């Protein structure tokens, strides 16, 4: 009996639950993105509308998700393992911390002043870096300062975006 006959005899079965879960997640994400972009006009290729990019990304993401899910039926792979809650907490927490501190916010008695990119950038990178198991604090601090300097040069000066740099210190 050849290998192809053995595979046909076994039928379609899930050989990589991790790829199947990832593919299905990508399809659900694509459907959600397409629904949110439903009302946006697509335009033409000559004059792109605001809905062209999100709908194209949703279609590409959905197609890749379907291909990944189909590949999970054909090729052996990893089984679905547990989640790293520490990584999710620190990665999403860092993004939330950045959003709350870059311009500041006030919610009832809770008030966080606007810290600007000079403080929020390193804070984001350092807090998100805590998710890694092999972190070294000295390397993480150097990386946070270097990336923040690059972001300040890029966004504030090269692109001239109205991002507060250090409103508490320089007023800009």
pLDDT at 10: 61
pLDDT at 67: 95
Q: How far is CA 88 from CA 128, 147, 163, in A?
A: 9, 21, 27
Instruction: List the structure tokens of 68.
Output: 């990944």
Is the Cβ–Cβ distance between 95 and 121 less than 8 Å?
Answer: no
Instruction: Report the alpha-carbon distance of residue 68 to residue 166 in Å, rounded.
Output: 45
Three-state secondary structure along 64-131?
HHHHHHHHHHHCCCCCCCCCCHHHHHHHHHHHHHHHHHHCCEEECCEEECCCCHHHHHHHHHHHHHCC
pLDDT in tens, the chain (172 residues): 565 655 555 667 778 888 899 999 999 999 999 999 999 888 888 888 888 999 999 999 999 999 999 988 888 877 777 777 888 899 899 999 998 888 888 888 888 888 888 889 999 998 998 888 888 889 988 999 999 999 999 988 898 888 888 887 766 6
pLDDT at 55: 92
pLDDT at 66: 95
pLDDT at 11: 64
pLDDT at 35: 93
pLDDT at 169: 76
pLDDT at 24: 94
Is the Cβ–Cβ distance between 82 and 76 less than 8 Å?
Answer: no
3-class DSSP state of 138 = helix
- Total length of the chain: 172
């Amino acid at each position: 009996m050849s290998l192809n006959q053995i595979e046909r005899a076994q039928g379609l079965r899930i050989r990589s639950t991790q790829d199947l879960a990832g593919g299905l997640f990508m399809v659900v994400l694509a459907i959600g993105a397409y629904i949110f972009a439903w009302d946006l006009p697509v335009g033409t290729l000559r004059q792109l509308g605001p809905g062209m990019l999100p709908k194209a990304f949703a279609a590409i993401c959905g197609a890749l998700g379907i291909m990944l899910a189909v590949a999970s039926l054909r090729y052996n792979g990893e089984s679905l393992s547990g989640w790293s809650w520490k990584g999710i907490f620190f990665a999403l927490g860092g993004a939330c911390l950045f959003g709350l501190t870059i311009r500041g916010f006030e919610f009832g008695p809770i008030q966080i002043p606007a810290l600007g990119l000079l403080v929020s950038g390193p804070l984001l990178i350092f807090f998100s870096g805590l998710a890694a198991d092999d972190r070294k604090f000295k390397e993480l601090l150097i990386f946070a300062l270097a990336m923040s300097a690059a972001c300040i040069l890029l966004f504030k000066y090269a692109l001239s975006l109205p991002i507060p740099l250090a409103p508490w210190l320089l007023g800009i």
